[in-house]
Copies of this chain bind each other. A is one copy, B any other.
Amino acid sequence: MAKIALAIHGGAGTILKSKMTPDLEREYTGGLEAALKVGWKILEKGGSSLDAVESAVASLEDFPLFNAGRGSVFTHEGKNEMDAAIMDGKTRRAGAVAFVRNVRNPIALARLVMEKTEHVLLAGEGANQFASEMHVPLEPDEYFFTEHRWLQLQDAIATGRVQLDHADAPKFVFSNQQAKGTVGAVACDGKGYLAAATSTGGMTNKKFGRVGDTALIGAGTYADDVCAVSCTGHGEFFMLGVTAYDVAARMKYKKLSLKDAAGETVGRLTEIGGDGGLIAVDAKGNVVLPFNSEGMYRGYIVKGKIVTDIYKG
């Protein structure tokens, strides 16, 4: 039996300890721990990495402080539009959705794309229509309405900014303290199979139907037999750097370890001006969580012991 492993993130960005309150810190840590426990339980019972990452991400989507599912930020039009992707390293199949609305757990819908269609990515009205046909749980707009997200939008509109969830917005303490808009999980199960899942509520004040890296296989999410990767940060740079797949490529073609490959990939991200981080696991159950931003909400379990952290160093 391979060494089971699980890592998660709740986003990366400008997360400064000086601006965090102990109460809020406890809340975030609680959200991370809950998701880790859900995923770990599955792995411990001999479940698949695919089930573990889906469940862990669904838990993070249900937690209102992370920018995914319930806690999604508002677009320019005051809507919540969510993206998610999942990839099964065992079969190398993947499913993803973009611009879905009112879906409680976009990650579950992404998995249905993988399992019930011949496609990899469904977007927009078509993806919402697919959600209806699959009868996935929907929630009313109020479910996704959280006051600090609404204030973020009003602030962003007022200042004319398209705001990634990490952006330093002096007017609202909350918007300083939010994770960059993504959650994700990677896992290695008892059979050594890997999986990755990522979900996001996008950018505050997003316009023009911008698609970020989360739903794109190879950019924000990737899994095969060498590693599974979930990214978080300024999506455009992850798309241009084909970041998630770049970790796998460095392992396969340069024969690097997971740690060295992920380190080089994040180094390259820094070179091109990209801000954020990633979590990754290999088939031996090694876990890495590198990032180049001020902080990244993150956690992992080794030998049953939960470790979570928010800040650098």
A90 at the interface (CB under 8 A from B): no
Contact A217 B245 (CB under 8 A): no
Q: Which of B127, B209, B210 contacts A208 (CB 8 A)?
A: B127
Q: Which residue of B has the minimal Cβ distance to A203?
A: B119
Copies in the complex: 2
Interface residues on A, range: 35 or more
Q: Beyond A93-B240, A239-B121, is A209–B253 a contact (Cβ under 8 Å)?
A: no
A51 at the interface (CB under 8 A from B): no
A64 at the interface (CB under 8 A from B): no
Interface of A, helix, strand, loop or mixed by DSSP:
mixed
Chain A residues numbered 243-282 whose CB sits less than 8 Å from any CB in chain B:
245-246, 249-250, 252-254, 272
Contact A120 B239 (CB under 8 A): yes
Contact mask A222-246 → B, CB, 8 Å, 1/0? 1000000000000110011010011
Contact mask A160-191 → B, CB, 8 Å, 1/0? 00100000000000000000000000000000
Contact B208 A129 (CB under 8 A): yes
Q: Which of B127, B211, B218, B249 contacts A121 (CB 8 A)?
A: B211
Please name all residues of chain B whose beta carbon is closer than 8 Å to the beta carbon of A210 when the two chains form the complex. Answer: 119, 121-122, 126
Sorted nearest first, the 7 A-B pairs with minimum C-beta distance are: A126-B209, A253-B253, A218-B242, A249-B249, A126-B208, A242-B245, A121-B211
20 additional contacts (CB under 8 A) given A92-B240, A123-B124, A252-B253:
A94-B239, A119-B208, A119-B236, A121-B216, A122-B209, A122-B210, A123-B123, A123-B209, A124-B209, A126-B207, A126-B208, A126-B210, A130-B208, A130-B209, A217-B219, A217-B242, A218-B218, A218-B239, A218-B242, A242-B245
16 residue pairs from A and B, CB less than 8 Å apart: A92-B272, A98-B123, A99-B123, A120-B239, A121-B211, A122-B210, A125-B209, A216-B216, A216-B218, A217-B239, A217-B242, A249-B250, A249-B253, A250-B253, A253-B253, A253-B254
Q: Which A positions have Cβ atoms within 8 angstroms of B?
A: 92-94, 98-99, 117-127, 129-130, 162, 207-211, 216-219, 222, 235-236, 239-240, 242, 245-246, 249-250, 252-254, 272
